[in-house]
Amino acid sequence: MAEVFVLAEHRQGELREVSLELLTLASDLGDKVTAVLLGSGTDEFANRCANFADRVLYVDDVMFSNFNASAYQAALSELIKKEKPKTVLIGNTVQGVDLIGSLGVELDVPFTTDAIAIQMEGDKPAVTRQYYGGKINGAVEFKDSEMYLIGVREAAAPAGEGGKSGEIVKVENPVTVEITARRFLEYVEAQVGEVDITQSATLVSVGRGIREDKNIPMMEELAGLLGADLSASRAVVDAGWLPQDRQVGISGKTVKPKLYLAVGISGAFQHVTGMKGSELVVAINKDPDAPIFQYADYGIVDDLFKVVPALIEKLKETKG
Amino acid sequence: MNIVVCVKQVPDTSDPDTEVHIDSTGRGVDESKFSFVINDADNYAVEEAIRLKEKHGGEVTVVNIGPEGANQVIRMALAKGGNSAIRLFDEKFAFSDIVATARILHSAIKDLSYDIVMTGCMASDDGFAAVGVTLAQMLGIPHAAMVKHVEVIDEKKLKVGRELEGGLMEMLEIEIPCLLTIQTGINEPRYASFKGIREASKKEIKLMDLSAAGLGDDMVGEAGSVAVMKQYSVPEVGELAEMLEGDAGETSTKLAQILKEKGLV
Ligand SMILES: Cc1cc2nc3c(=O)[nH]c(=O)nc-3n(C[C@H](O)[C@H](O)[C@H](O)COP(=O)(O)OP(=O)(O)OC[C@H]3O[C@@H](n4cnc5c(N)ncnc54)[C@H](O)[C@@H]3O)c2cc1C
Ligand SMILES: Nc1ncnc2c1ncn2[C@@H]1O[C@H](COP(=O)(O)O)[C@@H](O)[C@H]1O
Q: Give a three-class secondary structure readout of chain A.
A: CCEEEEECCEECCEECHHHHHHHHHHCCCCCEEEEEEEECCCHHHHHHHHCCCCEEEEEECHHHCCCCHHHHHHHHHHHHHHHCCCEEEEECCCCHHHCHHHHHHHHCCCEEEEECEEEEECCEEEEEEEEHHHCEEEEEEECCCCCEEEEECCCCCCCCCCCCCCEEEECCCCCCCCCCCEEEEEEECCCCCCCCHHHCCEEEEECHHHCCHHHHHHHHHHHHHHCCEEEECHHHHHCCCCCHHHEECCCCECCCCCEEEEECCCCCHHHHCCCCCCCEEEEEECCCCCHHHHCCCEEEECCHHHHHHHHHHHHHHHHC
> Which residues of B are less than 8 Å from A106 in CB distance?
137
pLDDT at A150: 98
Q: Is B146 in the pocket of ligand 2 (CB under 6 A)?
A: no
- Range of weakest confidence among A121-125, A278-282, B203-207: A121-125
Q: Are B86 and B205 contacting, i.e. CB atoms less than 8 angstroms apart? A: yes
* Contact: A131, B167; criterion CB under 8 Å: no
Taking the Cβ of residue B140 and every Cβ of chain A, the question of whether any pair is shorter than 8 Å is answered with: no
More confident residue, B17 or A308: A308
The DSSP symbol for B2 reads -
Q: Are A132 and A118 contacting, i.e. CB atoms less than 8 angstroms apart? A: no
Q: How many Å apart are CA B265 and CA B252, to the nearest integer?
A: 14
**What type of residue is A274?**
G
Q: Is B121 in the pocket of ligand 1 (CB under 6 A)?
A: yes
A118 CA to centre of ligand 2 in angstroms: 24
A132 CA to centre of ligand 1 in angstroms: 12
> Which residues of B are less than 8 Å from A315 in CB distance?
256, 265
Residue from the list B163, B248, B265 with its beta carbon closest to the beta carbon of A226: B265
pLDDT in tens, A132-188: 999 999 999 999 999 999 999 999 889 999 999 999 999 999 999 999 999 999 999
B181 CA to centre of ligand 1 in angstroms: 20
> Which residues of B are less than 8 Å from A135 in CB distance?
13, 20, 235
Block mean pLDDT (10 aa), chain B, length 265: 98 90 96 93 98 98 98 98 98 98 98 98 98 98 98 97 97 98 98 96 96 98 98 89 96 96 93
pLDDT in tens, A47-101: 999 999 999 999 999 999 999 999 999 999 999 999 999 999 999 999 999 999 9
Q: Is B66 in the pocket of ligand 2 (CB under 6 A)?
A: yes
Element (H, E) at B197: helix B194-200
A265 CA to centre of ligand 2 in angstroms: 24
Q: Are A8 and A34 contacting, i.e. CB atoms less than 8 angstroms apart? A: no
Q: Are A97 and A232 contacting, i.e. CB atoms less than 8 angstroms apart? A: no
Which of A:48-77 have CB within 8 Å of B?
66-70
Domains of chain B: 3-219 (3.40.50.620)
Q: Which ligand is nearest to the CA of B10?
A: 2
pLDDT in tens, A215-270: 999 999 999 999 999 999 999 999 999 999 999 999 999 999 999 999 999 999 99
* Contact: B233, A140; criterion CB under 8 Å: no
Domains of chain A: 3-170 (3.40.50.620), 197-319 (3.40.50.1220)
pLDDT at B239: 82
Nearest CA in chain A to B237: A294
In this prediction, residue A45 has a pLDDT band, given cuts at 50, 70 and 90, of: very high
- Nearest CA residue ID for atom 10, ligand 2: B8
Phi, psi (deg, nearest 5) at residue B49? -60, -45
pLDDT at A194: 86
pLDDT at A1: 61
In this prediction, residue A193 has a pLDDT band, given cuts at 50, 70 and 90, of: confident
Taking the Cβ of residue B102 and every Cβ of chain A, the question of whether any pair is shorter than 8 Å is answered with: yes
Q: Are B264 and A226 contacting, i.e. CB atoms less than 8 angstroms apart? A: yes
The mean of the pLDDT values for chain A is 96
